[in-house]
């Protein structure tokens, strides 16, 4: 179980990512609220994170980092638009998390093969597994 501070850090990172294009669409905010709810974080805490970023907490497990990468990928595609700035930012976030560059690139490449560019979780996991073997 993640600590509350880790959960806030996850959401704070997602908010910063949603704002990479200097705005946050309603669909992105709704997605953030859904993730927050799944993490057990209420709407008021999310609104607070919109005003003040939470301190960054490094996710310890590789599985947690892959899940966070997937959340960011979903967030990027929630509005049906991908900007080069978002793609570059996602790539850099993945690198910062210690994910294999080739796996990140492969995910960003194959997302175009799926409806709404939503890479199924099992496909994403298999890509990362292949790069760790």
pLDDT, tens only, 16-58? 999 998 889 999 999 999 999 999 999 999 999 999 999 999 9
Q: What is the rounded distance in angstroms from the CA atom of residue 87 to the CA atom of residue 65?
A: 17
Instruction: Read off the tokens for 109.
Output: 């490449």
Are 35 and 71 a contacting pair, CB within 8 Å? yes
Read off the pLDDT of each residue in 56-70 and give the average, rounded to a whole number: 94
Q: Is the pLDDT of residue 83 over 90?
A: no
pLDDT for the residue numbered 11:
97
Cβ count within 10 A of residue 86: 19
The secondary structure element, H or E, covering residue 74 is helix 62-77
pTM above threshold 0.85? yes
pLDDT for the residue numbered 26:
95
Q: How many residues does the chain have?
A: 133
Cα dihedral across residues 92, 95, 101, 106: positive or negative: negative
Read off the pLDDT of each residue in 72-95 and give the average, rounded to a whole number: 91
pLDDT for the residue numbered 133:
67
Are 53 and 8 a contacting pair, CB within 8 Å? no
Instruction: Provide the residue range defining the domain that includes 78.
Output: 4-132
Q: What is the rounded distance in angstroms from the CA atom of residue 83 to the CA atom of residue 20?
A: 10
Number of folded domains in the chain?
1
Read off the pLDDT of each residue in 83-101 and give the average, rounded to a whole number: 94
Q: What is the rounded distance in angstroms from the CA atom of residue 40 to the CA atom of residue 3?
A: 11
- How confident is the prediction for the chain on average, in pLDDT? 93
pLDDT for the residue numbered 44:
97
pLDDT for the residue numbered 1:
56
Q: What is the rounded distance in angstroms from the CA atom of residue 55 to the CA atom of residue 21?
A: 22
């Amino acid at each position: 179980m993640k600590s509350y501070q880790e959960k806030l850090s996850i959401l704070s990172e997602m908010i910063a990512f949603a704002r990479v294009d200097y705005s946050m669409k309603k669909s992105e905010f709704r997605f953030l609220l859904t993730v927050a709810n799944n993490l057990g974080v209420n709407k008021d805490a999310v609104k607070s994170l919109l005003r003040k970023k939470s301190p960054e907490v490094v996710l310890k497990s590789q599985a947690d980092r892959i899940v966070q990468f997937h959340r960011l990928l979903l967030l990027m595609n929630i509005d049906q638009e991908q900007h080069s700035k978002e793609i570059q930012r996602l790539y850099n976030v993945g690198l910062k998390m210690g994910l294999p560059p080739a796996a990140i690139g492969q995910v960003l490449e194959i997302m175009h093969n799926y409806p709404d560019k939503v890479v199924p979780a099992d496909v994403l996991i298999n890509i990362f597994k292949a790069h760790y073997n």
